[in-house]
Chains A and B, each alone.
Chain A
């Protein structure tokens, strides 16, 4: 027993001597627990979907619907655009542009006729709500569709519980039903239904024009029977190229690229620490080369690997999965920029993670954290708002944006400047950190 205890204590002592090992045994799990704790603590601030709202109708019902959207804690609604002090209501084109650039998950449009639909919900009309969603945000789009339906039915409930509005709506409905082609028995049923609603909510029975229904020809208003749909939410995906159908692999391809780059960074970031531990870095240092040449050689290897992994994935995506790259030149720019950005990440890791243990554990953990923050592991909308803002520090986000821009977002060269610029900045800063902190001997 004494020997076993001695072995155990020795192992624990060894662990305390390895600062990286100690951190990843005790510190890192705590950080991960805090990270997920913040995501799922449910204080309402972490899961708001960012959407643009365009109100083309402008009537009282559409304004009430918009107010409901704005009041909903699960949504962060943008209704204006432009600089501070010069704000204007969003138009459909601006909303769609925001979706295309990925700055909002969706653009919700309350089209003209919303008011009429709200008033005619018992006579076959609908409150039409249109949603244009980002193709890469399918999960959020599903949630948004549910939310819009919920708010639509809440609007209907308001009509049902407002005596004046209900009377107005039922009066309109009686007129529409009577004028419709429904047969007399169906009209009678609606008449009874409307009368019951009036009695239930108002305690009064208005005069009717036929005890609940005029005669008809036995067919539906449109010849296909009555289809009651008071709320009609239509959510469509953003299509840059309307002529060709969407391909789901276009959505997953940028994610695949990001994970491929992550693999490159992990492999090459640990390589320097491994060389240092095995002594081969010493030999490189003693060779007739400058340190800058050694660093450049290492960076070039990582850069080539990053380019190759992206080209292989691109070839697979286009040849096997019929992914269409709409902007091939911008795709080339995105591939180059993301490779340079991730080389910078590799260099920073190689400099900061000085031992093999730190590089193997720490390097991968840092990459994983960047992936988490950048939306590589959990959808960004799940993250707290501050963390969504902080996602800008992750090259994963910018690589995804740049590649999506070239594949299906229809980015222009100007649109591509931001993600490419940020990725190049990552490359430069990482290279500076890496060269400044790189230790050449064990």
Chain B
């Protein structure tokens, strides 16, 4: 549905994206996972035609470059930076952006009600945005991306800086949208979100795509072994194993155990293995 081919983008001395190629399939939730400054937002910026790549190309299937008006009408973007008119109400913001995307009046009223309900802002629809909490603003930022009901969504760190309740709300929304067949590109530096939501994940660091695949495949390929940590007879042991269940059973049957913990490999382990650094470094 969206093909990024050998994208390269430099800002002065900083090479933000370095030869990145990706193909997003229709109907999938694709996660772009990487630490802050990895090049995720720059990649999204080029994908939506906001930034012009120094090299490479972006193509929306059947339409062409994302700078084309027809391509933009099919994209819904929630930028990482909140992009809302704070002096206007949620309803006014949504109506304004809906009109920009050419949604006709009757359809707009319908969509307005639907997205406000989806993001849980129906009761506050007429309040000015500047009075909203951070989480409410994030949800409205997402709602604006949805107002024209686009088939493809690009969500750039949609949970940045929100409280756990709003985060869960947003994650549920993304899952619902995916269930309705929307294609979603989701950037995050939270590996838990990528693991929960994404069909496939691309791991990006220093502008380069390091690995690409399903969470399961990535963990199997790069995550290493599970670690069973056990405390017995006052001694702490750390055992690496491919089968933590069997190892745990063995340890428990061997004698008295004061404490035991299993650490399975995850996307954090994958990133550590690929870069030698933690995602949160």
Contacts and interface: CB of A to CB of B under 8 A. Distances in A.
Interface in B52-93: 69-70, 72-73, 75, 77, 79, 81-86
A233 B77 CA distance: 75
Given A286-B77, A289-B100, A278 B83 contact: yes
A85 interface: no
A128 B72 CA distance: 78
B97 A283 contact: yes
B144 A283 contact: yes
Interface of B: 45, 48-51, 69-70, 72-73, 75, 77, 79, 81-86, 97, 100-102, 144
B69 A279 contact: no
Contacts of B50: 282, 285-286, 440-441
B103 to A, nearest CB: 11
Contacts of A290: 69
B70 A288 contact: yes
Given A280-B85, A289-B69, 11 more contacts: A278-B83, A283-B77, A283-B79, A283-B144, A286-B50, A286-B75, A288-B73, A288-B100, A288-B102, A441-B51, A442-B81
B51 to A, nearest CB: 8
A287 interface: yes
A284 interface: yes
A286 B72 contact: yes
A440 B49 CA distance: 12
B83 A279 contact: yes
A286 B101 contact: no
A149 B144 CA distance: 73
Contacts of A287: 72, 97, 100-101
A279 B85 CA distance: 9
Contacts of A440: 50
Interface string A287-299: 1111000000000
27 contacts: A278-B82, A278-B83, A278-B86, A279-B81, A279-B82, A279-B83, A279-B84, A280-B83, A280-B84, A282-B50, A282-B81, A286-B49, A286-B50, A286-B75, A287-B97, A287-B101, A288-B70, A288-B72, A288-B100, A288-B101, A288-B102, A289-B69, A289-B72, A289-B100, A440-B50, A441-B45, A441-B50
Contacts of B82: 278-279
A278 B83 CA distance: 6
Interface of A: 278-280, 282-290, 440-442
Chain B, interface SS category? loop
A280 B81 CA distance: 9
B72 A283 contact: no
A288 B147 CA distance: 13
Contacts of B72: 286-289
B196 to A, nearest CB: 27
A229 B77 CA distance: 84
B69 A286 contact: no
A283 B72 CA distance: 11
Nearest to A440: B50
A290 B73 CA distance: 12
A422 to B, nearest CB: 35
A287 B86 CA distance: 19
Contacts of B83: 278-280, 282-283
A279 B77 CA distance: 12
A196 B134 CA distance: 97
Nearest to B76: A286
Contacts of A441: 45, 50-51
Contacts of A285: 50
A175 B30 CA distance: 114
A16 to B, nearest CB: 19
A440 B51 CA distance: 10
Given A280-B83, A280-B84, A286 B48 contact: yes
A290 B50 CA distance: 12
A287 B77 CA distance: 9
Nearest to A275: B85
A290 B84 CA distance: 20
